[in-house]
């Protein structure tokens, strides 16, 4: 069960599709339940519902008719609705009816208090909880200590597969990739790019790849005007199909991405750059899950941005750039979606014991 699915531009949309694809390749039968929304275009959907009481009756009937006893819930999703608690209610009522619930929480430690309180319902009523990083697991355990035995960490994976045609040392593109919405840290991306534009005048083109967030349709226009007013040369590639993003992203010398809570393995856009071997400048997060590649392909901008030009100067040494590329490619191997699907199978199989 996922609110977002292809046709909707979001990390969880792509994640849900790739997970289904790999589980089926491993021999599982997968039924996708998603939103009754005309933008959802994938033909592999089994049921589309509105997230209300009528939708609950439809999902209950569908699960019973198909003999489904394990339900995976992907949360949060934009099409559930910003303040909609019906997905939480589904988890509670379906669990009480005997359904086995496995909930994947893509966010926990980095969300506001009210959203976090609502996610307690998933933690309490699900038999299994999947989180994407150590930081979220520890945050849940501090508040609900008894939940440790039902939790697994499964990394989010890269929704944009590695094109991996080798290091793009000669590329003139510095790229940012992701969905545009406020309070994400995207303005900081412009700050870093502007610092590099001043230090390396006329050397680089600043490429933006991304999509419009359904809650903030007007933000992209404001962000684009700001970027174009401060950067000498920009390119924009917006709302592309998934298979069109990889080659554009791969053709980059460097990627610049900033996040509200800093770089971490919960960020699919960051993993997409890593999977393509593209060095990244970002902002530091509180976790330690990226320590293996820090200063070896992943770099953090200082508060005053004084080190950004130094980072690029290092990367302009071809031997260092190739070393960074290899470090990132090797690190990304653990986030292959087939391996992620096998971790889901392990969680599902626990109900057979």
pLDDT at residue 159, rounded to an integer: 67
Q: What domains are there in the chain, each with its CATH number?
A: 11-157+336-352 (3.40.50.2000), 173-334 (3.40.50.2000)
| Per-residue pLDDT, 333 | 83
**Cα separation, 196 vs 33, whole angstroms:** 45
Does residue 353 have a pLDDT over 70? no
pLDDT mean across residues, the chain = 91
CA distance 309 to 316: 10
Q: Report, as an integer, the average pLDDT of 265-271.
A: 86
Count Cβ atoms below 10 Å from residue 98 Cβ, excluding itself: 7
pTM of the predicted structure, to 2 decimals: 0.76
pLDDT at 162: 59
Q: What's the confidence (pLDDT) of residue 231? A: 97
Q: Does position 54 have pLDDT exceeding 90, yes or no?
A: yes
Integer angstrom CA distances of residue 198 from 156, 192, 235, 249, 303: 35, 10, 18, 23, 17
Query: How far apart, in whole angstroms, are the C-alpha atoms of residue 173 and residue 203?
Result: 9
Q: How confident is the model at residue 189, as a pLDDT?
A: 96
Which residues, other chains included, contact 272 with Cβ-Cβ below 8 Å and sequence gap of 6+? 158, 159, 160, 177, 245, 246, 249
Taking Cα atoms as reference points, which of 348, 258, 330 lies closest to residue 30?
348
| pLDDT for the residue 288 | 77
Mean pLDDT across the stretch 93-104? 95
Taking alpha carbons only, the member of 302, 317, 315, 309 closest to residue 200 is: 309
pLDDT at site 163? 62
Of 115, 30, 106, 117, which Cα lies nearest the Cα of 74? 106
pLDDT mean over 310-334: 94
CA 350 to chain centre: 26
Q: Is 114 exposed, middle or buried (0-12, 13-18, 19+ CB in 10 A)?
A: exposed
pLDDT of residue 352: 66
Average pLDDT of the segment spanning 158-172: 77
* Range of 9-23, 36-50, 223-237 with top mean pLDDT: 223-237
- Length of the chain (residues): 353
In the DSSP assignment, the letter for residue 251 is S
Give me the half-sphere count of Cα atoms (radius 13 Å) on the Cβ side of residue 10: 22
Cβ contact 267:259 at 8 Å:
yes
What band does 213 get if pLDDT is binned at 50, 70 and 90? confident
Alpha carbon 47 to its chain's center:
24
Separation in Å, CA 21 to CA 14, 45, 119: 11, 12, 27
Tell me: the pLDDT tens digits for 107-121?
898 788 888 899 999
> What DSSP designation does 294 have?
B
């Amino acid at each position: 069960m996922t609110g977002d699915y292809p046709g909707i531009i979001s990390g969880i949309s792509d994640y849900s599709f790739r997970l289904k694809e790999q589980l089926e390749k491993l021999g599982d039968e997968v039924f996708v339940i998603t939103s009754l929304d005309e933008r959802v275009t994938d033909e592999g959907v089994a049921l589309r519902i509105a997230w209300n009481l009528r939708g609950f009756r439809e999902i209950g009937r569908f699960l019973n008719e198909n003999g489904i006893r394990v339900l995976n819930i992907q949360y949060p999703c934009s099409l559930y609705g910003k303040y909609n608690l019906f997905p939480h209610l589904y988890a509670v009522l379906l669990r009480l009816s005997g359904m086995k619930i496995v909930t994947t929480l893509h966010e926990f430690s980095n969300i506001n208090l009210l959203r976090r309180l609502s996610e307690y319902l998933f933690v309490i009523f699900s038999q299994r909880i999947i989180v994407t990083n150590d930081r979220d697991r520890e945050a849940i355990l501090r508040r609900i200590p008894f939940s440790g035995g039902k939790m697994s960490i499964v990394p989010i994976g890269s929704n944009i597969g590695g094109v991996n045609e080798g290091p793009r040392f000669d590329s003139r593109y510095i790229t940012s990739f992701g969905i545009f919405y406020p309070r994400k840290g995207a303005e900081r991306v412009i700050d870093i790019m502007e610092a590099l534009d001043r230090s390396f005048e006329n050397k680089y083109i600043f490429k933006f790849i991304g999509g419009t967030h359904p809650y903030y349709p007007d933000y992209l226009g404001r962000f684009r005007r700001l970027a174009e007013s401060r950067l000498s040369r920009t390119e924009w590639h917006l709302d592309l199909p998934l298979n069109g993003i990889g080659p554009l992203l791969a053709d980059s010398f460097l990627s610049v991405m900033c996040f509200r809570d800093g770089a971490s393995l919960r960020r699919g856009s960051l993993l997409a750059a890593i999977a393509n071997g593209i060095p990244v400048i970002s902002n530091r997060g509180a976790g330690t899950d990226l320590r293996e590649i820090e200063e070896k392909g992943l770099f953090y901008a200082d508060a005053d941005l004084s080190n950004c030009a130094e980072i690029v100067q290092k990367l302009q040494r071809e031997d260092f750039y190739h070393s960074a590329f290899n470090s990132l490619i090797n690190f990304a191997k653990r986030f292959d979606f087939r391996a992620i699907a096998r971790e889901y199978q392990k969680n599902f199989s626990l109900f057979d014991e």
